[in-house]
Structure 1
Amino acid sequence: MRVVLFILLWFNFFGCTIIGQTKLPIKDEIHKLTSRATKLRQSGDFEKSLLVSRLALRKSIAIRDNALIAENYNNVAANYNDLVEFDKAIFYYNKALNYANFTQNDTIKQRVNNNLGNVYCFEKKRYEKGIQYYRKALQYSEKIKDSAQMAFTNLNITWAFFDIGRFNEGEKSLKMINSYYQKHHNDLIIVILNMLNGMYYNFKNQDEQAKLYFEEAIRLGKKLNEKSDLSFSHLEYSKFLLKRKEYKKAYENLELYTKLNDEIYAEEKLEKANVQGINLELDEYKRTIDKIENEKVLQYQSLKKSRIIVLLFIIAIFVLLLFLNSLIKNNKFRLKANADLMAANKELIIANQKAEESSILKTQFVSTISHELRTPLYGVVGIADLLLEEHKELASSPHLNSLKFSARYLLSLVNDILQINKIEENKIILENFTFNLADEFYMIKNSLSFISQKNNNDVHIKVDPSIPESLIGDKLRFAQILMNLVSNALKFTKNGEVYIVAKQLEVQGKMHSIEIKVADTGIGIAPLDQEKIFDKFVQVGRKEVDYQGTGLGLPIVKRLLELFGSEITVESQIGKGTTFTFCINFECNEVRTIEIINNIQIDLTSSQVFNVLIVEDNRINQLITKKIIEKNNYSCVVVDDGFKALEILEKEEFDVILMDINMPLMNGFETSRRIREKGMETPIIALTAFDKNEISEEAIRSGINDIIIKPFEAIQLFKIINCLILKTKSVV
């Protein structure tokens, strides 16, 4: 009887334990948490909202409910959007959209697309991309027949069109929202709706009607306590008053806008919420810890098999001893052979010296030619951009577009030649960055969208979910490999499919072995040509169509993969497509990743007007750089050489100096050195056509803070200018 009771108690205790351990959260519980997190965010308590969202996200992942996962990622992204961390907001909105696309839930798809449209239009100022998301959101709204969401999205798209001055395109959406409000009287949109009507009538120069709408928007904003909508109403009203030269009222409304913004984005809320934001990101990486621990257990078990390895080692030593006797007998023969080799070695040394001299001359020649080509290319690209900005009617000119394409094509050729030269000279050292594999794939897809659209191709991305979200490696070289492979696939495929696939093969410690495939359904490569495609300047498949290119893309891919310790294979059939495959190892280290995340700096563009000194001897380059600077509302002064720069710096103070390197009389290095000798701490940025690696050491010694290679993107220049100026002022 006692034995029976003991067995019953044992099953009762351990059965309850097992049931307790396997109990999963229910959906109603997660819905309540999600709703609570949303209300906390709407009330401005971002810290608690992120905390509750993290808990809801864990439970959603535990039950593998893609709709709930998408809902909570959307909530996390909305918090970051309110916290003015827009890059993180976009990252989590995209994760929400990925999970939403696995479901049939068109409501969450509509909301995430609408939110992405808001970020790109009103925060990133990338209106075209934002409007695309709005239109996708409208499609889902029509599908689910949600008139309220359709009204909100139409409100946003109207606002976006009005912001960029395209009032005629936004007029249709505005009429639709006015019609909706007359039927439903939705107080959530009434403030912004009145503001948009005011903007529209202001555009139509119907001032009295515009004024009535603006004042009604402000009145309702105060009544309904809609601080955000009220602040924008004050801002747009101030613009209207400024147009009517009512400066005092305009200033008062602008001051009210600033005050409301300060209340909405109080620093105390931001600092408190930052801690929970970091904890949320930590959860993303902690999900891989269990897998790593399991691997450690397997590694420990494998150590037990080391005895076999020791035994094999002893056998190998015995075999080596047998060979030793043979080596002694052959020693005399080697001595004689060495004497012959010494004589041959002297000849090889002489030949090697000549080869090294030839290599140095080749490197110098490539560097000189690239510099001489980049300088006029900067002028060609810059002048083409200026023509498009100053003469909008030329935007559709095939001649101007052909000029820009040809210049950028020539620049790409110069960069390819430099790249292959660096690889052959062993001047490339792999670096370590933290990156997300899926993000890199989508970046490549977006960068090459013009080729895929031109050839009517669809690009599909498949990423193994077991691959960690954060990897460490040289993402720039990896992206270059992918860019070459995907661009080739798109160029040699028409009306077809291109696939970018990543699959995790194995994990050893912190190293993850990942197989990458780039496949297409294009024209294919003949078996005889497959052995040639990795040779420099070799191109195949041009019998019927001119696909263009330098013939350096695949050779660069092969040599970069050799730096990663990998190799590439190709499988292809004529008329059926081509598949390139390679395996690459990346590290996953949560400690290093967290350090990098904690050190992320948010680029807050200053509204202050900076004074810039441009030191440049080339007249065309002077004109282009000055136009770029003044376009950003900075003031600038241009001088022809280093001596004039030193003279003006004695009389006038500047926030930053843009320094050309290759100048007559006194070059940029010597000019920078003399500026530092005078005790001036003004940031100096080298604008040069030289390759960055060639001048980095000399630039550091002469006191130059950073280097930008011409031609460059304007946004890159202003980001570096703002960063250096703010850093200098914070030190002072």
Structure 2
Amino acid sequence: MKIFILLFLLLNSFSNYSFAQTKTPSKAEIKKLAKKAVADLNNADFEESISTSRQVLHYATKIGDNYLIAVSYNTIAANLDQISEYDKAIFYYNKGLSHANKTNNNSIKNFINNNLGNVYCFEKKQYTKGINYYKKSLEYSQKDADTSQIVFTKLNIAWAYFDIGQFEKGYPYLEFLNKYNAKFGAESTNVIQNMLNGMYYGHKGENPKAESYFLKAIALGKSGDQKSDLSYSHQEYSKFLLKNKDYKKAYENLDLYNKITEHLYNDEKINKADIAGVHLELDEYKREVDKIEIEKNLQAQSLKKSRIIVVLFILALNVLLLLLYSLYKNYKFKKKANKELTLANQELLIAKEKAEEASLLKTQFVSTMSHELRTPLYGVIGITNMLLDEHKELANSPHLSSLKFSARYLLSLVNDILHINKIEENRIVLENLAFNVSDEINMIKKSLSFIAQNNNDKIAVKVDPNIPEYLIGDKLRLSQILMNLVGNALKFTKNGKVIITANLVEVKNKSHYIEFKIEDNGIGIATVDQDKIFEKFVQVGRNDNDYQGTGLGLAIVKRLLTLFNSYITLESKVGVGTTFKFTIAFDHDPVKTKEIINNIKVDLSSSQIFKILVVEDNKINQTITKRIIEKNNCSCIMVDDGFQAMEILGKEVFDVVLMDINMPLMNGFETTRKIRLKGIKTPIIALTAFAKDEIIEEVISAGMNDIMVKPFEPLKLFKIINDQINKTRNAG
């Protein structure tokens, strides 16, 4: 009892802080304090940072703001992390995470998971657990499409893998960092990016390249504010020098690491931070005691008004005894339940692993099937085009038109299935291209004229003249959305009209909000079906005479619009027609637009005659590809496999090589590697039925220059051929 009273008096003595006596500040002022605490942390002023974070925590708790509570706990934990109080840091990170999970803010969840990953990887050396926290952090940044934070987290994952010598596992993350850091990263990541490159190339034995990266990291660290990153760069450079037996420079860099670290974490700062940490823990105790004290005062006021205080006290005592007994019984029950729960968790873990395996198999199946379907479709479409070229009298043949349409429909189906799979796996990133809204809509009108003619429909286009001539955004995804919606409208409208409208509805700074509307006077959609049509594989109102498609188009539309932070609305009445509406914000920046347009390369070499080597084992594909090449006034030599390709490249000079990927004996990747080892720099373009994003990394690592996915438009193929030949000639 004496110990309890002493502790209570000690806690009470800390109740006279100035922030407890003053009026509670506004939320904006609390946020300002939180930012100051972070700034103090970055300046290694741990005492001030913890003290300010305590104030933020006090005020945030008072107003019940879970986000600010999570922020303050995160900053407190980060201070403790910096002064090597790792177990306490983990404790406060977890407290912050419990409050962050009560909010809808993915950023704070992302930061705390990232920080837990740092502690477990680099301090506790529990790398598996730490990397799992990093990957959880990555999920939250991907939900918000926060590319800069994605870059930052992938940097940490690469560092963790490199720290335990798993360079090949970490390299894909470093490769992503090298590709996107300049565009989406921050200056604060530049030092570590160069340091990691130095570590990787040092591991690969490419010492000059590694040293160059280390020296660049150190130079950036000296010129910037990231002194802790500078110290890590000296440390890793010292390890590299020691490995290469340059003992003097290794010692010098290790000494610099120690001096910077000692400056950042001197004993006086750490002692002050320890005192601030004690105050922090006392604050935690005080908050609990305050809660008990408030309840006690309320109970005392209630008891004073009653004349049966003694009876109530005895009753309360009896209730307490019953509660203790109940707790004891409950403890035994929970112990038994926990045992059963442990077994259930093990079963759930097995089920989770099976589900992940099934998901991987699904992705592999979709990829394989798309390849297997694209290969014969390339043959069907190519041979159909050849027949139409060789026999002009068949140009109006309904049979050939039907054959070509059916092949393109099958290709569209394969692409839709692949596309929905990519969206669900968060593998789509929007691009920024300059485009003209009117041109895009009229191109879609022209593309769908075949369906319009078959159904005797008319397509009308209305574009608001106030829309700027050029906007910046992902025109390909916009075209895909409009193509699906207009295509659907035409399919379900006979002898009618489809109207495509684009209106400028709002302008905020550079953002121009364009409302798109697709109206038809077709069969309409029943009210009971309107909530279903955006689900995958759902078809409504189908009969044997209607062409309804696969039910994927509107599902893709809905998911693509979420990437634009938009949504779609629907108004429809059976027998009257249907209207779809959505709004997307595009940038309008004349300077940036001019820069994008100037960077578009104009092909002035289409009349040139090139000598092209085609490596392809499929005889039908050989015939089609050769016909396309020769029709464009180029010479073509065909070989069946990689060995023949290497042999002929040793004897003859070609302007470009079109390389199939999936070949017997030796695949396209291995063939390209062997060609590059011989010093042959001829541009090599992968000609494949695989989806581009599935093989892009292996294409680059093998030494190929570009990819062309079959079936393809000849114009696009020769555009890529011209670009690659020009690049090679200019480089030479």
TM normalised by structure 1 equals 0.54
Q: Is the 8 A contact 2:606 2:718 kept in 1?
A: no
Pairing partner for 1:320 from 61, 64, 69: 64
Equivalents in 1 of 2:650, 2:571: separation in Å? Answer: 66
Equivalents in 2 of 1:696, 1:646: separation in Å? Answer: 23
Distance 1:497 1:682, change over 3 A: same
Equivalents in 2 of 1:503, 1:349: separation in Å? Answer: 51
1:375 aligns to what? 375
1:567 CA displacement: 1.6
**Secondary structure at the residue paired with 1:651?**
coil
Q: Map of 1:622-701 to 2, 5 A cutoff?
A: 622-701=622-701
Q: Map of 1:332-411 to 2, 5 A cutoff?
A: 346-411=346-411
1:717 aligns to what? 717
1:472 CA displacement: 1.7
**Amino acid of the structure 2 residue aligned with 1:481:** I
Distance 1:650 1:523, change over 3 A: same
Q: Is the 8 A contact 2:611 2:655 kept in 1?
A: yes
Distance 1:464 1:396, change over 3 A: closer
1:501 aligns to what? 501
**Amino acid of the structure 1 residue aligned with 2:406:** S
Structure 2: which 5+ runs fail to align? Answer: 1-24, 32-55, 70-286, 296-323
1:455 CA displacement: 2.0
1:608 aligns to what? 608
Q: Is the 8 A contact 2:455 2:493 kept in 1?
A: yes
Distance 1:316 1:506, change over 3 A: farther
Q: Map of 1:106-255 to 2, 5 A cutoff?
A: none
**Amino acid of the structure 2 residue aligned with 1:577:** G
Equivalents in 1 of 2:357, 2:551: separation in Å? Answer: 27
Equivalents in 2 of 1:490, 1:499: separation in Å? Answer: 10
1:601 CA displacement: 1.8
Equivalents in 1 of 2:30, 2:647: separation in Å? Answer: 77
Distance 1:676 1:347, change over 3 A: same
Moved more, 316-325 or 348-357: 316-325
Equivalents in 1 of 2:424, 2:65: separation in Å? Answer: 41
1:427 CA displacement: 1.6
**Secondary structure at the residue paired with 1:704?**
coil
1:511 CA displacement: 2.3
| Residues 618-652 of structure 1: per-residue CA shift (max 9 Å, x gap) | 11111111111111121111000000000001111
Q: Map of 1:283-294 to 2, 5 A cutoff?
A: none
1:400 CA displacement: 2.4
The answer to whether the aligner puts 1:429 opposite 2:424 as a matched pair is no
1:687 CA displacement: 0.8
1:507 CA displacement: 2.7
Equivalents in 1 of 2:631, 2:532: separation in Å? Answer: 48
**Secondary structure at the residue paired with 2:637?**
strand
| Residues 686-714 of structure 1: per-residue CA shift (max 9 Å, x gap) | 11000100110000111111111111111
**Secondary structure at the residue paired with 2:672?**
helix
1:461 CA displacement: 2.1
**Secondary structure at the residue paired with 2:584?**
strand
Q: Map of 1:63-102 to 2, 5 A cutoff?
A: none
**Amino acid of the structure 2 residue aligned with 1:650:** G
| Residues 366-390 of structure 1: per-residue CA shift (max 9 Å, x gap) | 1111111111111111111111211
Distance 1:687 1:342, change over 3 A: same
Distance 1:499 1:667, change over 3 A: same
2:45 aligns to what? none
1:729 aligns to what? 729
Distance 1:649 1:520, change over 3 A: same
1:302 aligns to what? none
Distance 1:526 1:712, change over 3 A: same
1:727 CA displacement: 2.3
2:586 aligns to what? 586
Equivalents in 2 of 1:443, 1:539: separation in Å? Answer: 27
**Secondary structure at the residue paired with 1:548?**
coil
1:541 CA displacement: 2.5
| Residues 466-500 of structure 1: per-residue CA shift (max 9 Å, x gap) | 33322222111111011000111111112222122
| Residues 648-675 of structure 1: per-residue CA shift (max 9 Å, x gap) | 0111111110100000111001111111
Distance 1:567 1:346, change over 3 A: farther
Equivalents in 2 of 1:508, 1:347: separation in Å? Answer: 53
The answer to whether the aligner puts 1:564 opposite 2:564 as a matched pair is yes
Equivalents in 2 of 1:391, 1:582: separation in Å? Answer: 45
Distance 1:545 1:308, change over 3 A: farther
1:509 CA displacement: 2.7
Distance 1:350 1:563, change over 3 A: farther
2:515 aligns to what? 515
1:569 CA displacement: 1.5
Equivalents in 1 of 2:518, 2:384: separation in Å? Answer: 35
**Amino acid of the structure 1 residue aligned with 2:691:** D
| Residues 563-616 of structure 1: per-residue CA shift (max 9 Å, x gap) | 222221211001111011122222223332121122222111343321110100
Distance 1:342 1:470, change over 3 A: farther
Equivalents in 1 of 2:506, 2:596: separation in Å? Answer: 25
Equivalents in 2 of 1:468, 1:412: separation in Å? Answer: 32
Equivalents in 2 of 1:559, 1:386: separation in Å? Answer: 38
Distance 1:614 1:326, change over 3 A: farther
**Secondary structure at the residue paired with 1:481?**
helix
The answer to whether the aligner puts 1:438 opposite 2:410 as a matched pair is no
1:452 aligns to what? 452
1:339 CA displacement: 6.7
Equivalents in 2 of 1:601, 1:347: separation in Å? Answer: 58
**Secondary structure at the residue paired with 1:726?**
helix
How many pairs were matched up?
A: 425
Q: Map of 1:700-711 to 2, 5 A cutoff?
A: 700-711=700-711
1:617 aligns to what? 617
| Residues 187-231 of structure 1: per-residue CA shift (max 9 Å, x gap) | xxxxxxxxxxxxxxxxxxxxxxxxxxxxxxxxxxxxxxxxxxxxx
Equivalents in 1 of 2:417, 2:638: separation in Å? Answer: 33
Distance 1:368 1:327, change over 3 A: farther
Equivalents in 1 of 2:61, 2:714: separation in Å? Answer: 65
Q: Is the 8 A contact 2:672 2:702 kept in 1?
A: yes
1:462 aligns to what? 462
Equivalents in 2 of 1:438, 1:420: separation in Å? Answer: 27
2:247 aligns to what? none
Distance 1:321 1:700, change over 3 A: closer
1:345 CA displacement: 5.1
Between the two proteins, what is the percent identity of the paired residues?
65
Equivalents in 2 of 1:686, 1:453: separation in Å? Answer: 37
**Secondary structure at the residue paired with 2:519?**
strand
Distance 1:309 1:618, change over 3 A: same
**Secondary structure at the residue paired with 2:64?**
helix
1:346 CA displacement: 4.7
1:363 CA displacement: 0.6
Equivalents in 1 of 2:424, 2:554: separation in Å? Answer: 15
**Amino acid of the structure 2 residue aligned with 1:586:** F
Q: Is the 8 A contact 2:614 2:639 kept in 1?
A: yes
Distance 1:347 1:319, change over 3 A: farther
2:122 aligns to what? none
1:309 CA displacement: 7.4
Q: Is the 8 A contact 2:683 2:725 kept in 1?
A: yes
1:317 CA displacement: 6.2
Distance 1:366 1:606, change over 3 A: closer
1:534 CA displacement: 1.0
The answer to whether the aligner puts 1:540 opposite 2:284 as a matched pair is no
**Amino acid of the structure 1 residue aligned with 2:662:** N
1:357 CA displacement: 0.6
1:440 CA displacement: 1.4
Distance 1:478 1:339, change over 3 A: farther
